[in-house]
Amino acid sequence: MSWIEKYDVVIGLEVHAQLATNTKLFCGDSTVFGAEPNTHVSPITLGHPGTLPKTNRKAVNYAIRMGLACSCEIEKDNYFARKNYFYPDLPKGYQISQHTTPICKGGVVRIKTDDGSFRNVQLNRIHLEEDAGKSIHDLDDLYTCIDLNRAGTPLIEIVTEPDIFSAEEAYQYVTEIRKLVRWLGICDGNMEEGSLRCDANISLKPKGSNKLGTRVEVKNVNSIRNVKKAIEFEVERLAAILDAGKSVQQQTRSFDASNDTTFAIRDKEEANDYRYFPDPDLAPFHLTETFINNIAAELPVLPNELQEKYQKELGLSPYDAHQLSEELATSNYFNSVTELTDNYKAAANWILGPIRQWLHEHHLSIEELTLVPEKLVELLKLVDTGKVNFSVCSSKIMPLLIQNSNSTALAIAESLNLLQVSDTSELEKWIQEVITKMPDKVTEYQKGKKGLIGLFVGEVKKLSKGKADPKIVTDLLEKALQK
Ligand code: ADP
Ligand code: MG
């Protein structure tokens, strides 16, 4: 019997997202990634005696944005606490965090479940805290190097309830978080650079039991795929322990990406004793209703809302609607196009097909696309009016129009002699030629093999070098073949 029948998997995720502010949470040091080590380290970052931190208003704004996007309750009376522990890359000997009053409480994140339907994952809280510096262990044989540039960078920690039930759901959840933080413009979501980091808490319990099992925590997994792999590995490992009649040790573990396994880094002490107390250097901060409402008013329409709108109001398929609401810039572009045409489906096809491919081939993002929505609509109309077929229009005209945005789609089509021929007398000549060339096929067709029509249309298109209007050709062929 496999573990699937015996145990329920329960997962809680803690995601740290580095906020995309220019400066640190409590001082003006730059947060830029990749600077020379230890160059953005003022006395405040270094925790020198006598220095006074000051809260970054933008970081507070960003945390609230995320909270509102996740339907959290926003805490009005906030304070920062000192979480005391020693770590070489924590110069003050404490981390400034939030303790009993996280800025955002509760809330939900909607994810796609294993059967394709959607469900809300319950959040416990989102709180603000500062990041530590970086210990680099592999630069020197004897010493650990410390870079304090990252120390003091603002983070939000997004903590779920134990409300995720498979590795795939965890994957979907982190994907959703990354999409949301990018959408809101509060974090670049770049996991390789450590802007988004995930700790996964995993436990198993006997199927149907309502008591949670002992958890293990896999720290700092640095890609979404690895979150899934780490959980898959842990589930197998925990199941084997339980199967052997042993009990699980509460443990902190780390993921080894070189072989997709995890290893223990420490046994979790019974209760952490961080000696939290309110930071006496930072005044508690009160958020007014107006401050919060102003942030709410500035929030962009959220991806889930857009997806629903695309399906319900524009009649797009769930797949297209989802793809178009993956990224704010793409949906903005699509929205502009829909103000210029009613053919929403065609607009979606163009953006998700040839345009996306062209951008990919040229390593560009949609923000860098020089084809303004008006120009895309010109292309779309050429196809809609039967002047050029879609494949010719997207492969030949679109690239030229992108490069030459002063021209028009029609002018390019004319200059390349690509306009479809819908003049029947010219089409009739090609049709007769094809009929004469394939007497056997004509007989087969006339005996009932109607599927051959596609072959004849294809031959006419070939003769016309792609310019014959396929709709008219089909009509004319059907008539000609009846004789
Ligand atoms: P800590 O501060 O030690 O990391 P928390 O109580 O804040 O502990 O919980 C951290 C995360 O662990 C949360 O996402 C929570 O949902 C999850 N969690 C707690 N207990 C379990 C459990 N038994 N199984 C799976 N996840 C759990
Ligand atoms: Mg934890």
Topology of the domain covering 424-481: Arc Repressor Mutant, subunit A (1.10.10)
Residues in the chain: 483
Cβ 102 under 6 angstroms from ligand 1: no
Choice from 9, 14, 235, 266 to test ligand 1 binding pocket (greatest atom count within 8 A of CB): 14
Q: How far is the CA of 201 from the centre of ligand 1 (A)?
A: 6
User: What one-character-per-residue DSSP string does 182-245 give?
Assistant: HHHTS----TTTTSEEEEEEEEEEETT-SS----EEEEEE-SHHHHHHHHHHHHHHHHHHHHTT
Structure-derived torsion over alpha carbons of residues 272, 275, 277, 282, reported in degrees to the nearest 10 = -90
Task: Point out the ligand 1 atom lying closest to the alpha carbon of residue 159.
Answer: 14
Given the CA of residue 13, which atom of ligand 1 is nearest to it? 14
Model pLDDT, residue 316 = 97
Q: Which ligand gives the minimal distance to the CA of 250?
A: 1
Report pTM: 0.86
Answer whether 83's CB lies under 8 Å from 94's CB.
yes
* DSSP state letter for 366: G
User: From the CA atom positions of the chain, what is the Rg in Å?
Assistant: 30
Q: Is the dihedral of CA 235, 171, 177, 365 positive or negative?
A: positive
The rounded distance, in Å, linking the Cα atoms of 150 and 131 is: 7
Ligand 1: atom nearest CA of 201 is 26
Are 217 and 253 within 8 A, CB to CB? yes
pLDDT of residue 426: 81
- What pLDDT was estimated at residue 252? 93
Burial call 67-105: b when 16+ CB within 10 Å, e when fewer: bbbbebebbeebbbbbbeeeeebbbbebbbbbbebbbbb
What's the N-to-C CA distance of the chain in angstroms? 69
Residue nearest to atom 3 of ligand 1 (CA): 272
**Cα 12 to ligand 2 centre (Å):** 9
- From residue 191, give the alpha-carbon distance in Å to each of 148, 407, 438: 19, 41, 60
Domain boundaries, the chain: 3-291, 300-415, 424-481
What's the average pLDDT block by block, 10 residues per block, for the chain (483 residues)? 83 98 98 95 95 96 98 97 93 94 97 87 98 94 96 98 96 97 96 93 95 94 95 96 93 93 81 87 95 97 95 95 95 97 96 97 95 95 89 92 91 85 80 90 89 90 83 87 78
Q: What is the pLDDT of residue 1?
A: 61
Q: Which residues contact 404 (CB under 8 A, 6 or more apart)?
A: 412
pLDDT of residue 270: 58
